[in-house]
Structures are given as C-alpha cells and as structure tokens.
Structure 1
Amino acid sequence: MSSAPFRVVVNGGLATVTIVGSGRGNALGGTFWDDLKEFMETVGHRDDIRAVVLAGDGGTFSVGMDLRWYLVRLRRAERSGTGSFMDDDVRHLQHAVTAVADCPKPVVALIDGECTGAALELISACDIRYASRRARFSLPEAELGVVADLGGLQRLPLLVNQGHLRELAFTGRTIDAARAARIGLVNDVYADSAALHDAACTLYGELCRHPAHVMEGIKRVLGETHQEGIRRGLEHSARWNSTHTGADGLRHAMTARLDAAAP
C-alpha cells in the first residue's frame, strides 16, 4: 500500500481523488485529514481543475475512521494529560470535512462498496453522490458510545428526512444502495465501479458547459443558507462527546470494537 493517503489524477480539468487511507479498507487516519484539507483548499486556486471526484481504492469507498490510528492518539493525549484533546482533535477533523463542503468547485462522491461512519459524514459534504449497486452505508458511532461529530448530523438532514436519519444514527444499521437512493442519500445507482466513473465523466461534461464562476456562485449561495446552523451543530457535537464520553470511554469502546473484529 502506498504511504500517501490518496492518489490524485487530473484529466482535462477533472481531478479524481482515490482514497487509500492509512489502514485496511481505506480507513481514514494518518495524514489523510490534513492532506485532504490542504488539497481541497488548493483546488480553489487551481484553474486547471473544474471539478473533483472522490472515490475509494479497491472496491471500497472507506470503512471510516482508522480506529488503530486514533487509539494511538488517544493514548498519547492521556499520557500527556491534555484534557482538551477530544474537543481540539474533533474540530481539527471537522475542518477537513468542511474544506470539502467549502471547496468552490463541484465535488462528486463515487461510492462503491462500504461507506461507514466518518466516510458517510465525508460524502455528506460533497455536492453529488453516485453509488454502485454494491454500495453499503452506515453511521455506527452510537456503538462506540459517541455522537457522530464530523458533520453528518448537520449535513445529512439536507439530503434525507429526519426519520431516515434518526433511524441510521440511533441503530447504526447498514442500508444498501437501493434504499440510499430511495431516501435521497445518493443521486443515482449504477451497475459497477466502471459505470460510476462513466457517469462522473458525463456529469463533468455537463458542468463544463457553464462558467466556473457560476458553479462557484451556486455553491456559495446554497452553502450560505445553512452555514450558521452547521457551524453551531459541529460545535455542539464536539462538546457533547468530550463531556459525556471522554477520552477514556472512547478508548475502551474502540479497543473493544477492534478486539471483536479480530479474527
């Protein structure tokens, strides 16, 4: 596996970002969050990029947060006595997801296979979501004793109704691509990964018919409508987990989940 958390290929103005992550299943850890934020902020200043596609490597979008990586961070924080670690670190990760939402260019997620937890929160920040028939979605943070805190609970209500979202968040259950399309989580469902990328290229051709400043203007106007509510919600979720779960509780829950998943 490459040490880079994602690969970027720019072809004719379309930047395809293929997530590799820091662990099995394109787990999101290591430098992924910092590199994603930096890339998305850079995209806004690159005239050679008109749109961005986010996809996963090897038939999986992402299994979500890299728990092994995050456990190391928790243990270091506990040893150093950094009481504000959870607050500070969640905000740090939130900024990376917000950079996707704030990117002035259209961002399209192509979901093939699993899309879990932090990965689902990540695609909620994209403008358009296409899925393959084998795509699966879940928001299992409640199983770790925490509230999803990277923006999913703030942005998903703009996509699906409250009943569907509460069911996902309360139960942590997995839904398939067909149901994701029915509830509005994804725009459309395609046969396989190749069809997903073909759909993205077709969409890009349509986007390129319009001036770049119009695409940016649409994003700015749509985003401004909900920006303050999202900001308040992000702050509230960060404080809630720090107050009610804490680093020690999260460490024990993550350890138990990893032990349960071990062969």
Structure 2
Amino acid sequence: MEDKYETLKITQDSSTSGVFNLILNRPSVSNALSLGFFAELPKALNALDHNPNVAIIVLSGSGNHFCGGLDLKSLAGFINGGTGDHGRTGERLRRQIKFMQDAITAIERCRKPVIAAIHGECRGTGIGLVTACDVRYCSKDAFFSVKEVDVAITADLGTLQRLPGIVGFGNAVELSLTARRFSGEEAKELGLVSRVFGSKEELMKGVRTIAEGISGKPPLAVVGTKAVLIRSRDLSVEQGLDYVATWNSSMLLSDDLTQAISAQKLKRKPTYAKL
C-alpha cells in the first residue's frame, strides 16, 4: 500500500499479512503533530478501513520517539493569523480545534482495531492520540506526560475525555494538573498500557505477534467488539445490552460463525472472508 503522505507512512508487514503499520513520520522533530497531520490522519485511516486486506492497524513512531506532542510552531502560526476581531478569531479557532478533535476521533471511527506501539517520548497530544487507540503497549524506555498545562493550554483533543476512563478519574486529574513525566512501568500500573517490552525492537516484534493473532480472528466479531465497546462506554448497562442485542441480531448469523464452528469441530484453522 503506497499512499503518499507528508506526516505519515503506511506499510504492510508482508504481502499476506492483515497487519498494516501507520507510522508517524517526522522523526527530526520527535514526530510532533503539525496541522497537516490532522488533515492526513483521517484520510489514511479511511483508506485503511476500506481496504479489505487490512485486518488491524499498528500505530507507531519513526525515529527515537513516538510523539513529542503538538507542533507549537504550527500552532503559533495559526494563532498569529487572527484578524484582530476577537469574536471572529475565537470562532475560527473553535472550528480549527473541532477539526483537530475530529481527526483524533477518526481512530475510534475506524472499524479496524488500532494498536498503539509507544517508544521514547509520548507527551501532550501524543497522549490524546494513544488514548483514542483500542490497545496500547510500550517499550521500557517510553515516558509520558500530559504536558498541555505547562504551555498554557487546556488539553482539548481528547485526553481529558478519554484518559479518566482508562486510568481512573483521580489519576487523570493528578497527571493532567502536574504535567509530570511518568515511566512506561507506571503507565502499566495505571492501566494506560497493557504491557511493557524491553526495547523498541521487542515492542514491535511483540505487537506484531499480538496483531497477527487478532487479524486471524473472525472479522465481523472483531469489528463488532470494537464498535460495541466504544458505543457502550457512553451508555448505561441496560442501553449497552440493548445495543449489542441489535448489533448481533444483524451480524451474528454470518459465514464467520459457520466457519468458526466448523473449524473447532474439525480441529482445523478457520478461513474467513475479508471485510
């Protein structure tokens, strides 16, 4: 898959693999997120989502760090472009923030699961990026910081909305107000990541193995599990149960189910049609 982007790169593990890599590709600036990134990310995710060869996506960073946060040079250029009319400048800024928020939320809208593989620095908007992912792993050298308060910003791209549901409200408040740096091991203790690997190489190898395992599972069940989990997050238990009942009444009776049952009965590897 050779789509061309300025801030991202897409690769496939092998021609027969359903695992595709979505790589932040500005290593010279620690993969800081420019305004161009927020235009490219939804396009890249949409292309991956609609590619039947893609079963799962691994989000990682090139170079020494995963993501150094928002590119403040891009932000400064945007703010300094105001008209002098505070009302119009504020309205314009609100539209830009909503545009950037929507780009991060595109990770959740993508049907295919997205795994974050984090090494080195992950701060500021980098936290917002990984909290929108479905699963997160990191290397031992990874370090994190909800950095926005230190640069006079209230984090506005999803961290304050998603992080409390992952690490707990009290932990999210403490991390967001102090902007302190915390390690990959602490991230594991908090529940931000599911596992810590010894190095970037071990991280990518381990995540690839996990991703390959998920990519071999029934596709409708995988995308359904992601969709129901995200939808149920904002529903009561009763509403969530009603939602999954409606989902399964549409999706359960599929060739995937027949294939899975047959494979277990005959003790063979199942073969599923692509989505």
TM-score computed with the length of structure 1 as normaliser:
0.82
Give structure 1 stretches of 5+ with no counterpart. 230-263
Q: Which of 97, 109, 113 is 1:106 aligned to?
A: 113
Q: Which residue of 1 aligns with 2:190?
A: 183
Q: Which amino acid aligns with 2:47?
A: T
Query: What is aligned with 1:82?
Result: 89
Deviation at 1:83, TM superposition (A): 3.2
- How large is the Cα RMSD of the aligned pairs? 2.0
Q: 2:166 matched to 1:159? A: yes
Deviates more, 1:200-209 or 1:94-103: 200-209
What is the match of residue 178 of structure 2?
171
| C-alpha distance 50-92 of structure 1, shift in aligned 2 (>3 A) | same
> Matched residues in 2 for 1:118 and 1:133: separation?
21
Q: With CA pairs under 8 Å and 6+ residues apart, which has the higher RCO, 1 or 2? A: 1
Question: Are the counterparts in 2 of residues 130 and 196 from structure 1 also a CA contact under 8 Å?
Answer: yes
| The one of 59, 62, 77 aligned to 2:64 | 59
Matched residue type, 2:98: R
Checking the alignment, whether the CA contact within 8 Å between 1:23 and 1:29 is kept in structure 2 is: no
Contact 1:180-1:186 within 8 A present in 2 as well: yes
- 1:69 lines up with 2:64 in the alignment: no
> Contact between 1:22 and 1:32, CA under 8 Å: does it hold in 2?
no
Give the superposition deviation at 1:161.
1.2
TM-score, normalised by the number of residues in structure 2: 0.78
8 Å Cα contact 2:18/2:212 also seen in 1: no
Give the Cα–Cα distance (whole angstroms) in 1 for the partners of residues 234 and 78 of structure 2: 30
1:221 corresponds to which residue?
Answer: 228
Change (3 A) 1:227 1:37: farther
Partner of 1:16: 21
The structure with the larger Rg is 2
Amino acid corresponding to residue 6 of structure 1 in structure 2: L
- CA change 1:48–1:3 in 2 (3 A) is closer
Alignment partner of 1:145 is 2:152: yes
Q: Secondary structure of the equivalent of 1:126? A: coil
Which one of 13, 34, 40 corresponds to residue 35 of structure 1? Answer: 40
Counterpart CA distance in 2 for 1:65 and 1:210 is 36
Q: Report the CA distance shift for 1:96/1:38 in structure 2 as closer, same or farther (over 3 A).
A: same
Who is 1:127 aligned against?
134
- In 1: Cα distance, 2:58 partner to 2:76 partner: 30
The letter for the 2-side match of 1:41 is N
Aligned residues of 1:22 and 1:66 also touching (Cα < 8 A): no
Contact 1:181–1:187 (CA under 8 A) maintained in structure 2: yes
Q: Which 10-residue stretch deviates more, 48-57 or 73-82?
A: 73-82
Q: Is residue 125 of structure 2 the alignment partner of residue 118 of structure 1?
A: yes
Aligned positions, number:
228
